[in-house]
């Protein structure tokens, strides 16, 4: 299960509205001060994702909770989203090379057009299949536990920045 911390922003009809800071892997390697991606990730604020989670009772706004998403559903969706368009692109390139180019004597333009067309078809197929991977309950994050009240705003600000010398 992939876990993340989130902050409650509201409650309505059995659903908690949460704000979750997107986590990146930048900042964990030794070359983060020389890496362009690491420098950019430090300079820009993190992206906040807004999700809804089914909850048995209302929680006060600002409460920290832990949410989780099943790994199997995420891995299956990623495989579909990345592999189906790539395979379709290759099928289009092969068909364009060995069928279209031979019949129409179109050259590379026909091969490229066929490849792009099949790649686009692959993206549409992947969108259709990714929406149907698993049940809706498996695709929805789950509330794992309630962490408690948030730390005061001043402490959060001071903990997020480095102190100067």
CA 107 to chain centre: 39
Q: 161 pLDDT exceeds 80?
A: no
Q: How far apart are CA 42 and CA 47, in angstroms?
A: 12
Q: What is the pLDDT of residues 68-127, one digit of tens each?
A: 887 887 888 889 999 999 999 999 999 888 887 666 666 788 888 889 999 999 999 999
Per-residue pLDDT at 160? 47
Using alpha carbons, select from 139, 140, 138 the residue that is nearest to residue 18: 140
Per-residue pLDDT at 26? 62
Per-residue pLDDT at 57? 83
Task: List Cβ neighbours of 82 (8 Å cut-off, separation of 6 or more).
Answer: none
Q: What is the pLDDT of residues 30-72, one digit of tens each?
A: 666 677 666 666 666 667 778 888 888 888 888 888 888 878 8
Using alpha carbons, select from 137, 139, 136, 150 the residue that is nearest to residue 19: 150
């Amino acid at each position: 299960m992939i876990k993340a911390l989130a902050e409650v922003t509201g409650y309505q009809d059995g659903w908690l509205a949460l704000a979750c800071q997107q986590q990146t892997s930048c900042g964990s390697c030794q070359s983060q001060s020389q890496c362009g991606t690491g420098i950019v990730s430090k300079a820009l604020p993190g992206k906040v994702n807004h999700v809804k989670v089914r909850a048995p009772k209302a929680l006060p706004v600002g409460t920290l909770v832990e949410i989780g998403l099943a790994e199997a559903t995420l891995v299956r969706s990623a495989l579909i989203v990345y592999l189906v368009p790539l395979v379709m692109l290759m099928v289009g390139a092969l068909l364009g090379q060995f069928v279209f180019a031979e019949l129409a004597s179109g050259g590379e333009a026909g091969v490229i057009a066929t490849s792009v067309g099949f790649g686009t078809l692959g993206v549409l197929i992947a969108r259709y299949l990714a929406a149907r991977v698993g049940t809706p309950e498996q695709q929805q994050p789950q509330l794992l536990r309630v962490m408690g009240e948030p730390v005061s705003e001043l402490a959060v600000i001071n903990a997020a920045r480095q102190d100067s010398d």
